[in-house]
């Protein structure tokens, strides 16, 4: 894994409009080390000098100063060794959805389209913490459900993937799911029913529980 792949993923996020004002951060595992965009770097113009190298516990091994949001990344890697890349963004629809009451405890975002269920899966809302608060990582690590994505209250989204391409695609799919949820918010909308969701989740091996939505 090279820093150029991290730069390419950053550029894709910017092109997709997911990094307003150069916000957000991305990382990828290289062996067991975390290569992560540095603090105050632009995701659209990442260079070798702008990439931090951390060990799995977050110790800074070299390169740029890491983003203060590194605990989010380390927590996702600790949860499941199959995941090799993390994307965290402050994209508008994900942020807006993170400011609403969650649809259900296990997913802030309702299952309105098959693609959200297949490609993202249940996406719980983690409680508000100031950016950089290490408790954000603890909240994510302690999340009791299988997840590949979460919303951070009044802040943004974080997703994982088996590689950078999958993580970037997942961040884009979650952004669209949040946008569709916002466009239909308050309207007499039709959600996928629990059987439809369960069938999709099973067929696509996507994480989704089936408790009733919060009232
Ligand atoms: Zn953030």
Per-residue pLDDT tens digits for 91-139? 999 999 999 999 999 999 999 999 999 999 999 999 999 988 999 999 9
pLDDT of residue 9: 95
pLDDT of residue 212: 52
Q: Which residue has the higher pLDDT, 132 or 193?
A: 193
Rounded-to-integer distance, Cα 121 and Cα 111, Å: 9
Q: Is 173 a catalytic residue?
A: no
**φ, ψ of residue 126 in degrees (nearest 5):** -90, 150
Which pTM value belongs to this model?
0.94
Structure tokens at 138: 């603890």
Rounded-to-integer distance, Cα 36 and Cα 136, Å: 17
- DSSP code, position 213: P
- Per-residue pLDDT, averaged over 74-102, amounts to 96
Structure tokens at 173: 């799919």
**Contact by Cβ (8 Å): 135, 161:** no
What are the counts of helices (DSSP H) followed by strands (DSSP E) for the chain? 7, 8
Expressed in angstroms and rounded, the spacing between residue 157 Cα and the centre of ligand 1 is 8
- Burial of 106: CB neighbours in 10 Å, binned 0-12, 13-18, 19+: buried
Expressed in angstroms and rounded, the spacing between residue 85 Cα and the centre of ligand 1 is 16
- Per-residue pLDDT, averaged over 36-55, amounts to 92
Rounded-to-integer distance, Cα 50 and Cα 64, Å: 5
Structure tokens at 179: 């946008």
What are the tens digits of pLDDT across the range 146-192?
A: 999 999 999 999 999 999 999 999 999 999 999 999 999 999 999 99
Expressed in angstroms and rounded, the spacing between residue 212 Cα and the centre of ligand 1 is 30
Q: Is 115 a catalytic residue?
A: yes
Give the chain's mean pLDDT.
93
pLDDT of residue 4: 87
Helix (H, G, I), strand (E, B) or coil at 38: strand
The catalytically annotated residue of 5, 105, 115, 146 is 115
Residue 178, by phi and psi: left (phi above 0), alpha (psi -120 to 50) or beta? Answer: alpha
Model confidence at 210: pLDDT above 90: no
E strands within the chain? 25-30, 33-37, 51-54, 60-63, 85-89, 125-126, 149-152, 156-161
């Amino acid at each position: 894994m090279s820093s150029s792949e991290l730069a390419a993923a950053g550029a894709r996020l910017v092109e997709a409009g997911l990094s307003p004002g150069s916000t957000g951060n991305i990382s990828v595992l290289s062996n067991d080390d975390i290569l992560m965009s540095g603090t105050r770097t632009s995701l659209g113009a990442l260079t070798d000098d702008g990439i931090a190298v951390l060990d799995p516990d977050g110790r800074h091994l070299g390169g740029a100063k890491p983003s203060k949001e590194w605990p989010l990344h380390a927590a996702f890697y600790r949860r499941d060794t199959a995941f090799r890349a993390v994307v965290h963004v402050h994209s508008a629809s994900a942020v807006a959805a993170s400011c609403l009451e969650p649809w259900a405890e296990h997913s802030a975002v309702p299952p309105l389209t098959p693609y959200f269920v297949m490609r993202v899966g249940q996406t719980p809302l983690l409680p508000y913490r100031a950016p950089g608060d290490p408790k954000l990582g603890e909240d994510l690590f302690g999340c009791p459900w299988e997840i590949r994505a979460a919303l951070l209250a009044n802040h943004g989204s974080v997703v994982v993937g088996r590689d950078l391409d999958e993580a970037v695609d997942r961040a884009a799919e979650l952004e669209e799911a949040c946008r569709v949820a916002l466009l239909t918010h308050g309207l007499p909308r039709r959600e996928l029913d629990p059987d439809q969701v369960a069938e999709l989740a099973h067929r696509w091996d996507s994480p989704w529980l089936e408790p009733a939505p919060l009232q």
